[in-house]
Every structure is written in structure tokens, then in C-alpha cells.
Structure 1
């Protein structure tokens, strides 16, 4: 007969030794540390670091006051325009002969595709009011040339801002502030030059004007005045 030996009872798994438990804790701590380092690195990669200058520019953008800026800078713009204003008839004659040469000599551009903006002066006889403009009959201009002077109440365009070449986009934080500066300068024109003026009373009177014009076309002149003298 074959002896049948009873099976030995199975043994329970041995409990981890103290050394094994220490090693396990160390592995878990190392994994947690690595995960923390990776998280910090990811946060740093997604964080925009701002220099002191950038922070100052951002603060300035948030507090830009176009009215205050215009009140400070408008007198300088007026001085620049009146000091370099070219006679309108002379300007249009030179534009007809060589527009680029005339532009470089008398005007300023805000961009490669922008028209030249000029400081000009002229004298003529006021005519009818058309909207926010009054027509001006100026002798000595090419036939078919229409000259108008902005009289408000709305003043449009950025000619006063652009005519001297001293106000540039780079001086502002963004396009919104740059545009707001031009609008605020127009507000200065309305309050300092046109305040109390009744355009309807100008018809038939001699008007001497110094101002700025963006020359989109030499046959249609729209002057934004910084000085306006009306004969009695």
C-alpha cells in the first residue's frame, strides 16, 4: 500500500519586516516629493513673469486719463501747428507737382499706408454751413478744390494729434489710449477755439484759420482749426 501522508497546513504570509516597512515609506515619500516638484514646475511654466516696467505700464494703462493728457499736451500741439503751418495754396501746388516730396517736407504720417497730415494756414470767405463744417472760399487754389473748416459740435479725425509728428503710438500702452488721446485733443479744440462760435453768422465774412488737415485727397480739404480769426 502506498502511504498517504497528511498535507501540512499552509502557512500565513509573513508580516513585512521593519526594514521593509521603512523602505516602503521612503518610496512613498519620494514619489510624493517628485509629484510636488512636477506640480510646482508646471505652475511656474504657466505663470507670466512681469517685469517692474511691464507692471508700471499696466498700471498706467488702467489709470490713463485722456482729458488730463490733452489738457497738458494741447498747448504744445497748437504751438507746433502754428509754428510750422504752410500756406494751403502753396502746399496744394507742391502736392500736385510731387506728393511724396511735399509730404516729407511739410507733413507727418502715422503709418506706411496712412495719408500725410499737415499743419496749414489759409484765409478765405466763409460760405454755407454743411453739418459740422463751414465752407471756405479760398482764392488761388486749383479749380474744383473744396475747403471746409470743422466748426462742431462734433469734431472728427485725428489731424490735431498727428500734424506735428510729436505724438506717436509708442507713447501709449495700447490703441484705445492712442485713439482716446486724439479725441481728447478734439475736445480741446471745441472748448478753446469754437466755444461760443455760431457758424451761421460766418457767411460772407473773412476767416483766417490755422489748423491741421489729413490730406486724403487734394481736392477735398477738411481743416481742424487750432486758431480761428473772423473779420468783423
Structure 2
């Protein structure tokens, strides 16, 4: 969390910092008031909804877009050296947690798993396929974790930390899929930018990469 005066949210300013910190230490405010802190690049907010509204378009989307790595290249690097790739290109909420990455992909839309469409991407390592999440985007933390330098310690509790991910996903779904239905576009070529978390849903080796999109362009 930034300690520079310009980046402080209202509740960290000197006029109110002492009573707020005192109340937090006593546990009196945590149950009734929600505060979301800010890192150097993000705008502070009082709720998860406000945080998402203030930061999705101006912080999260540009961060993912500017740092996106082509998915085939990213996966190849992860397989070769997961720790080094995570430290160089990824972000995660804490030690022992999976890394999330900014990612891009261009490919052909195919039938996919529940909650997504498949994407045939050239150059993918053998045994690993790609999907693009479709609404509702649910509770994936890929956009939150890959798109900003945030940790659990920036939030008053785990619920608000998770809610930020959910609210960002809601905005992404509305922004990307307002007039787009990928389930009707089997065989079309698309280009996607978004976030992905390198984790297996079954607990074994990762064989599938799901991209939560912040932008989709349809080929001609």
C-alpha cells in the first residue's frame, strides 16, 4: 500500500488516521465499515464496488493490455521454469498461491467447457488447451490478481478482497460481452486480452488455460 500523501485514501489522512487506526485495533470498525486500500497504481475506495468502478477501465484493463504475453509463449515459459516465470511475469496474492498472468491469444473459437468457449491457438505446448470465459464470469480472481498489485492486507477482510474480484468480473462481462455472444461464433477467429491463473481445477497438472477477457476483437 502506498504511503505517499497523494495516494492515501480519505481514511488514511492525518485528520482521521488516529481514530480510525485506534478503532481498527480495537476491532470496533471492521464489522461495520469497509475500506479498500490503494497501491501505487490504483485509486483508493471505500467499497469493493467503488474500487472496481474507479479502477477497472483506467488501471486494470491498461495494465493487462500493456503487459500481456502471448499464451503459447507464456505457457512454454511456465513449463520450463514456473517459479522464474511467475516472479517475472505473474502476480499472486501470497506465498504458496498460484500466479496469475496478463495474457493474449489469437485463435479459432470451438466448443468449450462449461462457462467458456474453446480457442484453438497455434503453437500451444502439447497437452494444454485454451478456453475463453463467458458470462457470468463468476469468482475468478485472474483480473484482480494479474491486473493490479493488491494483497489481502489492503482490505479489511477476506470477503471484500474476494468481492473486488467479483466486481471486476462483472464490469468485464458487461464491457466485453455487451453485444457479443461467442457461443454463436464457432469457427470464427478472435483475438483476446485478459488474465489467467495457472492452476488445475482437479489438483493435478495444468492441462487447460482459461482466459478471463478484458477485450475481444473478432477477425474479418
**Would the TM-score normalized by the shorter structure come out above 0.5?**
yes
Q: What secondary structure is seen at the aligned counterpart in 2 of 1:163? A: helix
Structure with more of its chain in helix, by fraction: 1
Which one of 100, 109, 113 corresponds to residue 117 of structure 1? 100
Number of matched pairs = 183
Q: Deviations over 1:58-80 (max 9, x none)?
A: 46428943222211011201111
Structure 1: gaps spanning 5 or more residues: 1-50
Aligned partner of 2:111 in structure 1 is 128
Asked if structure 2 preserves the Cα contact closer than 8 Å seen for 1:121 and 1:209, the reply is: yes
Aligned partner of 2:6 in structure 1 is none
Residue 175 in structure 1 maps to residue 158 in structure 2: yes
The 1:155–1:196 alpha-carbon spacing in structure 2 relative to 1, beyond 3 Å, is: farther
Q: What secondary structure is seen at the aligned counterpart in 1 of 2:216? A: strand
Q: CA RMSD in A?
A: 2.1
Pairing of 1:59-208 with structure 2 (within 5 A) = 60-61=33-34, 64-75=46-57, 76-208=59-191
Asked if structure 1 preserves the Cα contact closer than 8 Å seen for 2:195 and 2:213, the reply is: yes
Q: What secondary structure is seen at the aligned counterpart in 1 of 2:163? A: helix
Asked if structure 2 preserves the Cα contact closer than 8 Å seen for 1:109 and 1:165, the reply is: no
Q: Quote how far apart the aligned CAs of 1:81 are.
A: 0.6
Residue 223 in structure 1 maps to residue 196 in structure 2: no
Asked if structure 1 preserves the Cα contact closer than 8 Å seen for 2:94 and 2:151, the reply is: no
Q: Quote how far apart the aligned CAs of 1:140 are.
A: 0.3
Q: Which has the larger radius of gyration?
A: 1
Q: What secondary structure is seen at the aligned counterpart in 2 of 1:189? A: helix
Pairing of 1:43-58 with structure 2 (within 5 A) = 52-54=19-21, 55=23, 58=30
Q: Deviations over 1:92-144 (max 9, x none)?
A: 11112111111111101111111111001110100014432000000101112
Aligned partner of 1:42 in structure 2 is none
TM value normalised by structure 1: 0.73
TM value normalised by structure 2: 0.76
